[in-house]
Amino acid sequence: MRAVDVIVRKRGGAELSREEIAFIVSGYVDGSLPEYQVSAWLMAVFFRGMTPRETADLTELMLHSGKVMNLAGLRDQNGRVGPFVDKHSTGGVGDKVSLILAPIVAACGVKVPMMSGRALGHTGGTLDKLESIPGYHTGLSEAEFRDFIAADGFAMTGQTAEIVPADKKLYALRDVTGTVESIPLITASILSKKVAEGSEALVFDVKCGPGAFMKSIEDAEALARSLVNTGTAMGKRIVGVITDMSEPLGAMVGNFFEIEESLDCLEGKGSADLMEVTMRLCAWMLVAGGIAKTVEEGLAACQAALASGKPRELFLANIARQGGDVQRFLALKGKYRSKYGRKLAAKDSGYITGIDAYKIGVAGVFLGVGRDKTTDPVYPDVGFIFRHKVGDWVKKGEVVAEVYGKDERSLEDSRELIESSLSIGPAKAAARPLIVKEITAL
């Protein structure tokens, strides 16, 4: 087989065989194919797309380029095995759903083997948020990961180098060849990593809107359908929930700030938008895991669990289990704020009609919440605390948000972006549905 023939066939719109796709993937991973040929192939896929069968083949081939976790024999303290269900978000601003969701569904009997990522660009990262807790470590060994899931029902770790090495190479190449925004390539990249974690069912939160990777509902739906169809073809139970990401989710954006807000949510003090999205995804996880028959039944079980206080206990137990200092975390809560702070005040009286999530996310990079390059440092005590949300009426001069940065300069560099993220008008804007669409083959 010659790479050039596979490239030419894809360029012409042909459906490639599994062997042809394997030739490209394994050739790139083992170094026998040069980057220029793999780049050309990626660009051909970008323009010509892939059939569902090709996408499933690519996902499976990428999956088996590395280690696939097997959680099958893992028993909890009651001797029960599974169900193992994970949730993946395509990335948003103020998106701390994983932190709240994992203890809630664990309290309902679902095991959550959660492998998360770091902040990149305007979106936050679960690992950076967790590491803002003094002492907390996210680089768990496989044995620790398994033991902690058995003990608390969930554990939080990062992806190891052995999980889908093909994606590491291919994603880096896509990043510099303008081939990231391709539905089959995104599907294979996300799904191969998630299936490698060992979950039997997955719930995808496909974010949609200015603060998301997918800006339009059409693109978000195409990605959600592709994830559901490909994952289902691979024998997994998959749900895709499209959720709105126009405004930052919840009341806080920032690493420690979002941990703090997560605890508030588990104490019944969460903001309505964040709780609506979180509880819906929790309910779907119960359905995907076979614990609830319908999403309504799942919602009722999650609400009962939340009211029992068990998720809060599990949240704190996980912090201690992963090395975090619970007493220090509780002492810092409400006080861990950078000394470089300022207020965002309303320029007019009226209704808040928009808080642009993308602009807040980019401003967060200036402030030190997120990073442009994987090697940039992030800071725990910086970000935003919103006192108002879209739909609220504010008086001219009233504080809409507290802003904290890593230094004075960061506050200045982000000032214009933050000011322009806020829109105020005379009329209340119609509320946007937070749960835009749900796609499942269950």
> Do 321 and 148 form a contact (C-beta atoms < 8 A)?
yes
Nearest to 195 by CA among 310, 79, 298, 84: 84
The answer to the question of residue 115 lying near ligand URA (CB under 6 A) is no
Q: Which of 118, 129, 174, 312 is catalytic?
A: 174
The answer to the question of residue 208 lying near ligand URA (CB under 6 A) is no
Based on CB atoms, which residue is closest to ligand URA, 185 or 360? 185
Nearest to 44 by CA among 87, 72, 7, 80: 7
Span near ligand URA by CB under 6 A; candidates 183-191, 234-242, 272-280, 375-383: 183-191
> Do 127 and 118 form a contact (C-beta atoms < 8 A)?
yes
Residue nearest to ligand URA according to CB distances in the complex: 189
Report which residue type is found at 106.
Answer: A
The answer to the question of residue 98 lying near ligand URA (CB under 6 A) is no
Helices (H), 242-322: 255-266, 272-288, 295-308, 310-321
> Least distance (Å) from ligand URA to the CB of residue 56?
16
The answer to the question of residue 230 lying near ligand URA (CB under 6 A) is no
Determine which helix (DSSP H) or strand (DSSP E) holds 340, and give its type and residue range.
Answer: strand 340-345
Cα distances from 155 to residues 106, 141, 147, 237, 321, in angstroms, run 10, 11, 9, 21, 9
Q: Which of 167, 205, 356, 381 is catalytic?
A: 167
88 is catalytic: yes
410 is catalytic: no
The answer to the question of residue 170 lying near ligand URA (CB under 6 A) is no
87 is catalytic: no
Nearest to 338 by CA among 372, 360, 369, 370: 369
Based on CB atoms, which residue is closest to ligand URA, 163 or 186? 186
The answer to the question of residue 422 lying near ligand URA (CB under 6 A) is no
Helices (H), 309-438: 310-321, 326-332, 357-367, 408-421
Based on CB atoms, which residue is closest to ligand URA, 149 or 190? 190
Residue among 189, 246, 278, 318 that touches ligand URA (CB under 6 A): 189
CB proximity list for 14: less than 8 A, separation 6 or greater: none
Span near ligand URA by CB under 6 A; candidates 2-10, 62-70, 79-87, 178-186: 178-186
Q: Which of 96, 122, 193, 406 is catalytic?
A: 193
> Do 110 and 101 form a contact (C-beta atoms < 8 A)?
no
> Least distance (Å) from ligand URA to the CB of residue 185?
6
Residue among 43, 102, 119, 186 that touches ligand URA (CB under 6 A): 186
Span near ligand URA by CB under 6 A; candidates 180-188, 272-280, 310-318, 368-376: 180-188
Residue among 58, 183, 190, 378 that touches ligand URA (CB under 6 A): 190
What is the DSSP track for 37-74? HHHHHHHHHHHH---HHHHHHHHHHHHTTS-----TT-
Q: How far apart are the first and last CA of the chain?
A: 39
Number of residues that bind ligand URA (CB under 6 A): 6
In the complex, the residues that contact ligand URA under the rule CB under 6 A are: 171, 180, 185-186, 189-190
Residues annotated as catalytic (active site), given as ranges: 88, 167, 174, 189, 193
